[in-house]
Amino acid sequence: MSNRPKGIVMRALKSMLAVLWFPAASAFAEPEHPFLSPTNIFAPASTPAYSIFDLSLFVLEVTAAIFLVVFSLLAYVVVKFRKKAVSDGREPAQVYGSTQLELAWTVIPILIVVTLFLAAARVIASIQNAARPSNAIEVTVIGHQFWWEYRYPSLKVVTANELHVPVSDPAHPTPTFLTLLSADTDHSFWVPRLAGKTDLIPNHPNSMWIDPHETGLYLGQCAQYCGTQHAKMLLRVYVDSRDDFDRWIQEQRQPAHLSDVASQGRHIFEITACINCHAVAGTVANGRFGPDLTHLMSRQTIASGVAKNTIGNLIAWIYKPDVFKPGCEMPSMGLSVQQSAAVAAYLVTLR
């Protein structure tokens, strides 16, 4: 019984730490620093994230100053006016009402609140009103239960779950502007090191932009509860050098590289409802309900970052998607393990 409060404190501390460290999102990250979360809000790498970081430091400073003043006064009063060992029997002076004091504790907090409001309004405006240079990359992000669709309308690329953008040199910015849409319910796009959180609302396009200053993999997570597998709707943003990005775009624009190696698996895929939900450019598969599979093997993970993209995981996924994501929108198609393996053998040729 005596250690119960300690348990509660430990739990509170742990849940506070979890805010800085999403274990799910970091599952496949190789962080440069083992103790730093890849979703660390204090490690900005793109202009909007820097602005938000500066603002949060400013708010922390102001609130820390308030804390110090209030706490010091409190400590002073507690010590100074504590009950004396030897009382002289008199009551301390009783004070009723003080216009000066009341004015002070009304006006000072109002000034603080106005300052914080103006600081936040300035950052919001500077991010929202940023000019869109003509060389900006345009991506339409569509949130689905429980995965991400990425379309590059002017580059004619459609992909899923792993967003590629070019690095943006602050001297010659090449930002990426995202238009956020939803196919079903509310989702939220949040990659803390790149920008603030922005919701994807059905029938209400939102927008945001990022200009990552360093290449690498940036992680995040759908940040608006959207259904049973919301927690497994992870975000992966690959920031490539300009050359790598251009090469990636070129490869993604190609139709599927088809070969006869896995013709049996391809046949099963094409006579099963897979093709009503998935597209493989250049074949009969033109479904749009699920992720585009044309270049499936160019992705490191499947099912929005939940599992590594290996043939073993593909077989397990096709056989029974619920193994990875119980309640997800892809049904088990009732294929045998052998049939699932044949289909997976076809999918791994989709490079």
- Helix (H) / strand (E) element for 247: namely helix 242-253
Select from ligand HEC, Cu ion, none the partner in contact with residue 161, using the beta carbon and a kind-dependent cut-off of 5 to 8 Å.
ligand HEC
Nearer to Cu ion, 166 or 196 (CB): 196
Select from Cu ion, ligand HEC, none the partner in contact with residue 219, using the beta carbon and a kind-dependent cut-off of 5 to 8 Å.
none
- Paired with 17 in beta bridges are none
Does position 278 interact with ligand HEC (CB under 6 A)? The reply is yes
Site for ligand HEC (CB under 6 A): which residue of 55, 333, 341, 348? Answer: 333
Stretch that binds ligand HEC, among 11-19, 22-30, 121-129, 321-329 (CB under 6 A): 321-329
Phi-psi domain of 161 (left: phi exceeds 0; alpha: psi -120 through 50; beta: other): left
d(CA 269, CA 180): 31
* CA 28 vs CA 78, 300, 306: distances in Å: 51, 9, 9
Site for ligand HEC (CB under 6 A): which residue of 164, 269, 294, 315? Answer: 269
Q: What are phi and psi of 294, to 5 degrees?
A: -50, -45
Nearer to Cu ion, 219 or 350 (CB): 219
The residue among 160, 142, 188, 191 whose CA lies nearest residue 306 is 160
Site for Cu ion (CB under 5 A): which residue of 157, 226, 280, 306? Answer: 226
Strands 137-144 and 176-182: parallel
The residue among 137, 175, 142 whose CA lies nearest residue 155 is 137
Does position 160 interact with ligand HEC (CB under 6 A)? The reply is yes
Does position 294 interact with ligand HEC (CB under 6 A)? The reply is no
Nearer to ligand HEC, 193 or 266 (CB): 266
Alpha-carbon torsion (326, 307, 161, 267), positive or negative:
negative
Select from Cu ion, ligand HEC, none the partner in contact with residue 222, using the beta carbon and a kind-dependent cut-off of 5 to 8 Å.
Cu ion
Stretch that binds Cu ion, among 154-162, 167-175, 226-234, 335-343 (CB under 5 A): 226-234
What are the DSSP calls for 255-313, one per residue? PP---STTHHHHHHHHHSTHHHH-B-TTSS-B--SS---TTGGG-SEETTTTEE--HHH
Site for ligand HEC (CB under 6 A): which residue of 37, 39, 161, 224? Answer: 161
Does position 342 interact with ligand HEC (CB under 6 A)? The reply is no
Radius of gyration over alpha carbons of the chain, in Å? 27
Binding mask 185-204 for Cu ion (x = CB under 5 A): --x-----------------
Does position 280 interact with ligand HEC (CB under 6 A)? The reply is no
**Which residues make up the interface to ligand HEC (CB under 6 A)?**
146-147, 160-161, 229, 269, 272-274, 276-278, 289-291, 293, 296, 299, 302-304, 314, 317-318, 325, 328-331, 333, 335, 343, 347
User: Where does this chain bind Cu ion (CB under 5 A)?
Assistant: 187, 222, 226, 233
